[in-house]
Amino acid sequence: MRAIPTSCRKIAAIASSNRGFFAGMVMKIVADENIPYVQQCFSSIGDVYALSGRAIGREAVADADVLLVRSITRVNADLLAGSKVRFVGTATIGVDHIDVDFLNRSNIGFASAPGSNANSAAEYVVAAVLEIAHDHQIQLRGASIGIIGVGNVGSRAAKKCTALGMKTKLNDPPLQRQAGNPKYLGIEELFDCDFITLHTPLTFQGPDKTFHLADHKFFQSLKPGCAFLNASRGAVVDSDALKAAIRAKKLKAVVLDVWENEPNIDVELLQMVDIGTPHVAGYSLDGKIGGMIMIYKATCKYFGLEAELGVADFLPEPDAAELELDVQVDSQEELRDVVRKVYDIREDGRRLRQVKDKPAEKRAAYFDSLRKNYPIRREFHNTRVVLAGRRKEIEGALDGIGFRVIDEQDARQKTR
* Active-site hit among 233, 336, 351, 371: 233
What is the C-alpha to C-alpha distance for residues 23 and 194, in angstroms, rounded to an integer? 62
Q: Which residue, among 277, 206, 266, has the nearest Cα to 235 in the 3D structure?
A: 266
- Calculate the dihedral angle through the C-alpha atoms of 119, 120, 126, 129, rounding to the nearest 10 degrees: -130
| Contact between residue 273 and residue 246 where contact means Cβ atoms under 8 Å apart | yes
* Active-site hit among 262, 334, 379, 395: 262
Round to the nearest angstrom and report the end-to-end CA distance of the chain.
35
262 is catalytic: yes
| Contact between residue 236 and residue 309 where contact means Cβ atoms under 8 Å apart | no
List, in sequence order, every residue forming a beta bridge with 51; answer none if it has no partner: 32
* Active-site hit among 97, 279, 371, 377: 279
279 is catalytic: yes
User: How buried is residue 402: exposed, middle or buried, by Cβ count under 10 Å (0-12/13-18/19+)?
Assistant: buried
Residue 132 backbone dihedrals phi, psi, to 5 degrees: -60, -45
141 is catalytic: no
CB atoms within 10 A of CB 416: 4
Supply the residues annotated as catalytic.
233, 262, 279
